[in-house]
Amino acid sequence: MKTNSLEQLGFNSNIYSTHSQLNREEWARVIAEHKERYLVQNEEGTFEAEIMGHLRFTAEDRTDFPMVGDWVQIMPFDEGKALIQQVLYRQNILKRQAIGKDGEAQYIASNIDKAFIVFSANRDFNLNRVERFVVLCYDANITPLLILSKADLVSQEDLHEMQLQILERFPELEVLTTKIDDEACIQELKLKIEQDKTYCFLGSSGVGKSTLVNLLLGEDKMLTLEIGTGTNRGKHTTTHRELSVMKDGGVLIDNPGMREVGMTSSSDAMEDAFPLIMELSEQCKFSDCTHQHEKGCAVIEAVHEGEISEEAYENFLKLNREQEHYASSEADKRKKGKSLAKMVKTVKQHKERF
């Protein structure tokens, strides 16, 4: 398999100067990660890598472990195998603050120059959700660019309306629209990509991230290079390469553990739906409405209107039942607002676990 030069992988004098005593072949970039097994690449090739014991034992938290995008020091020891001795350089880390246990951060990728936040124009478009991604980028000092994908599936008017809303809410945010069959869109996106810079694609599952990455990579179609079996673990684990180099330069990172950070569209929709349910429940005809069969229930109505998904509603009811079960007294049950707030928290915690 062909490999890339360090420069094609994004290496520059800034990075080099942090550990200039190292030989070139000791430098490598992490191109995929799965459960503490890594794929790293340099001009010698691609290696399956594990971290050195001492690194594991001295590690205090997740930031001490390598992640996709990192520059690491490696020591090859076998055909296509290497040990990672240390993490060398991090310009920034794209991370998401977990709302669940201990509020621990979840790491997405490192050394990113620009993030492409992808939203499909035809569904799920929601400014609050866009904001979450934008904030995540600003926190890491990364400039975001919003891509409205699947523009072929909505009318010009709807698209225009969306663009206006975005402009109003995020005046600084650069926005592109794409449709896969339109070569001009892809060219426009290509123009945003500079040779030795690294770009990370963010967004819910199914919005078209991999499709765009594949189009940008052209004939170098994303190789589904797999991380081999863990011999000492007995379990077969595979993962896809996440970082790829474009033919004319430019490093793309796709799907950097997005599933692990719980950004699938359904759980996102869920998180958005719950505050809405809380709000709506204040408009129910009966103050003790169970939102299951009552006439004049604003929640049921919203489900019928399609404002709240069936899935979110079912989950809401399920959590509601759990809540009821644990409520120790009638008084507790009447503290509806409070328990609902708690429920939202529970949902978020559930979400983090996915």
Ligand X SMILES: Nc1nc2c(ncn2[C@@H]2O[C@H](COP(=O)(O)OP(=O)(O)OP(=O)(O)O)[C@@H](O)[C@H]2O)c(=O)[nH]1
State the binding site for Zn(2+).
284, 289, 291, 297
* 16 contact partners, CB below 8 Å, separation of at least 6: none
Look at residue 55 and give the partner it binds from Zn ion, ligand X, none, a contact being a CB closer than 5 to 8 Å depending on partner kind.
none
Stretch that binds ligand X, among 148-156, 186-194, 238-246, 346-354 (CB under 6 A): 148-156
DSSP annotation of 203 = -
308 touches Zn ion (CB under 5 A): no
How would you classify the pairing of strands 243-245 and 143-149? unpaired
Q: If binding is defined by CB under 5 A, does position 289 make contact with Zn ion? A: yes
153 binds ligand X (CB under 6 A): yes
Q: Taking CB under 6 A as the rule, does residue 91 contact ligand X?
A: no
User: Which residue bears the tokens 């204040």?
Assistant: 282
Q: Does 260 bind ligand X (CB under 6 A)?
A: no
The span of 127-135, 158-166, 207-215, 231-239 binding ligand X (CB under 6 A) equals 207-215
207 or 299: CB nearest ligand X: 207
Taking contact as CB under 6 A, which single stretch among the options 55-63, 95-103, 155-163, 176-184 is the one that binds ligand X?
Answer: 176-184
Tell me: does residue 164 bind ligand X (CB under 6 A). no
Residue 222 CB-density burial (10 A; 0-12 exposed, 13-18 middle, 19+ buried): middle
Per the CB < 8 A criterion, the answer to whether 340 and 322 are in contact is no
Distances (CA, A) of 118 to 3, 98, 146, 184, 206: 28, 21, 6, 18, 10
Q: Which stretch binds ligand X (CB under 6 A): 18-26, 146-154, 235-243, 302-310?
A: 146-154
Q: How far apart are CA 289 and CA 285, in angstroms?
A: 7
Q: Does 340 bind Zn ion (CB under 5 A)?
A: no
Residue 45 contacts which entry, ligand X, Zn ion, none (Cβ below 5-8 A, type-dependent): none
**Rounded to whole angstroms, how far apart are CA atoms 162 and 229?**
46
Total residue count of the chain as it appears in this document: 354
Residues lying near Zn ion in the complex (CB under 5 A): 284, 289, 291, 297, 299
